[in-house]
Structure 1
Amino acid sequence: MNILLYVLGLTLSAVTGAAPIPADEKPVQKVRTGFIDGWNQVPLKRLEDQAARYRGTYYLEGLHNTKRIALTFDDGPSVYTTALLKVLDKHQVKATFFFLGAQLAESPEPARAALKAGHTIGNHSYDHPYLTDLSPSQLWDVQFGRTQRLIKEKLGVVPALIRPPYGFVNDSQVTLLAGKQLKLILWSIDTQDWYVAQRLGAANALYNTVLNHVHPEAIVLMHDGGGFRAGTVEAVDMLIPALKKQGYEFVTVDRMIGTPAYLAALP
């Protein structure tokens, strides 16, 4: 099997012009969950194509096959961040939070609590725009750079991990952000809590989505802001013990991909 993976890696490398993919790494990264039409979400093939072109900069999942999983939360900080911190502490699990600058400006205390508890803080832009509509100066000065400065001011750290809102980012923007030593973190499992949040039984739906698609070194997308997230909190409380029984270890994204969580200084 390792020989077949290595040959596939060589084939992909020949097509893209990239260095050969090591035999112990996954040859491709994939999104395991389905696509919901009519919600202006990024096409899954686009995510997977960019992950292939920008390997080592742009991640849908960890590149190896260890039984580790990274829970990630977008759009906070909010009251749901505080609720999630209690659940994560109960189960002794660390997660990764991609905060919005606008939310952090209004509610810094949950973010400070997340950092103090040992969770990783990432940058999710200032106010959640479609990035592909922005100029380079808007992308950095108004969105990610502005939020980097705010996180530094409020929390004293400079994130090395960012997540583009909705998953939309064009190739020139990937290059710009990579030039600032940033890693783009997408996802391999979208719980779609943004879609099912208001439904009866949302927690069970989210729980089943993860269990039905879990895989080695999965990056799981959930939300601690941007709407009603009680179902997400409940689902996390159910998921952690279930996945631990399957032998999964919970890690932050930086640990999974082997990169520093924070930069030494603002770029």
Structure 2
Amino acid sequence: MNILLSVLGLTLAASVGAAPIPADEKPVQKVRTGFIEGWNQVPLKRLEDQAARYRGTYYLEGLHNTRRIALTFDDGPSSYTTALLKVLDKHQVKATFFFLGNQVEASPEPARAALKAGHTIANHSYDHPYLTGLTPAQLWGAQFGRTQRIFKDKLGVVPALLRPPYGFIDDNQIAQLTAQRQKLILWSIDTQDWYVARQLGAANALYNTVLNHVHPEAIVLMHDGGGNRAGTVEAVDMLIPVLKKQGYEFVTVDRLIGTPAYLDQPG
């Protein structure tokens, strides 16, 4: 049961018995971008409610207010991963790649290149299902655990970060994945590149979305697989120098939230 507390002028939602949120941390996490109706996306309120209830396990953004930002990419690796790596290297920026197990299995070289370049590799499931219809055995054995084993075999690392496909995950699944020592990483800025890629001027639209919603310790959702991501690659090339001029430092998600990127052994 949740109760509303007011501590030092901060209003926040917390579970009974939970430790108070330190004064130097954000009292709430939220998604800054809007919602596209009719595309079976996770409701923003659901994301924000879960972030409040699973603070320290489930993140929409960093918990502090430093001018740091984490660029994240889903659904690779693909040929667009290779193009993104060139852009990120050009600007000397590190990012976080939430790779699919079946993509790494079929095409490990871009993933190896990302790891070698110092980017963080994270788990985005084996083949991108809606998780809420899966049994506990399917969730780990057929999806995230299977992907961990592929990453260990192909890349030599076992991620400690994961992102649920589409953002849909239920409370029991959060508990199951937390028991596997995973941090769940969602987002505070959804560039909606999966949708905007269908339009002309995609790069400019993505660029404007990020600039209009950027905030301290943002986690930005983009994609390097699953479709035409040329606009995403171009937008990243445009965004980095502008955000650097605004004083933002680009970091991987593990650095943003202060947690190890990898486990010492497979789960």
Give the TM-score, by structure 2 length: 0.96
Q: Cα distance, 1:118 vs. partner? A: 0.1
1:247 aligns with 2:247: yes
CA–CA distance in 1 between the matches of 2:7 and 2:201? 40
Q: Cα distance, 1:6 vs. partner? A: 4.1
Give the AA of the match of 1:202.
A
Q: Structure 1, residues 227-265: CA drift from partner, whole Å, max 9, x if none?
A: 000000000000000100100000000000000000000
Alignment match of 1:8 (pick from 7, 10, 15): 10
1:126 aligns with 2:126: yes
Match of 2:3 in 1: none
Figure out how many residues of one structure are paired with residues of the other and give that number.
Answer: 262
Distance 1:166 1:200, change over 3 A: same
Give the AA of the match of 2:157.
V
1:200 aligns with 2:200: yes
Q: Would the aligned equivalents of 1:5 and 1:27 in 2 still touch at CA under 8 Å?
A: no
Give the TM-score, by structure 1 length: 0.96
Could you say which structure has the higher strand fraction? Answer: 2
Give the AA of the match of 2:114.
A
1:180 aligns with 2:183: no
Q: Cα distance, 1:18 vs. partner? A: 1.8
Match of 2:218 in 1: 218
Where do residues 157-168 of structure 1 align in structure 2 (5 Å cutoff)?
A: 157-168=157-168
Q: Cα distance, 1:19 vs. partner? A: 1.1
Q: Cα distance, 1:7 vs. partner? A: 4.0
Q: Structure 1, residues 202-231: CA drift from partner, whole Å, max 9, x if none?
A: 000000000000000000000000000000
Identical aligned pairs, as a percentage?
82
Match of 2:59 in 1: 59
CA–CA distance in 1 between the matches of 2:43 and 2:65? 25
Q: Structure 1, residues 184-203: CA drift from partner, whole Å, max 9, x if none?
A: 00000000000011211000
Could you say which structure has the higher helix fraction? Answer: 1
Give the AA of the match of 2:98.
F
Q: Cα distance, 1:8 vs. partner? A: 2.5
What is the DSSP-based 3-state SS (H/G/I as helix, E as strand, rest coil) of the residue aligned with 1:12?
strand
Where do residues 1-267 of structure 1 align in structure 2 (5 Å cutoff)?
A: 6-8=8-10, 11-13=12-14, 15-267=15-267
Give the AA of the match of 1:196.
V
CA–CA distance in 2 between the matches of 1:37 and 1:45? 14
Q: Would the aligned equivalents of 1:26 and 1:64 in 2 still touch at CA under 8 Å?
A: yes
Unaligned runs of 5+ in 2: 1-5
CA–CA distance in 2 between the matches of 1:17 and 1:220? 32
CA–CA distance in 2 between the matches of 1:6 and 1:77? 46
Q: Would the aligned equivalents of 1:96 and 1:119 in 2 still touch at CA under 8 Å?
A: yes
RMSD, aligned α-carbons: 1.1
Distance 1:232 1:16, change over 3 A: farther
Runs of 4+ in 1 over 6 A off after TM superposition: none
Give the AA of the match of 2:10.
L
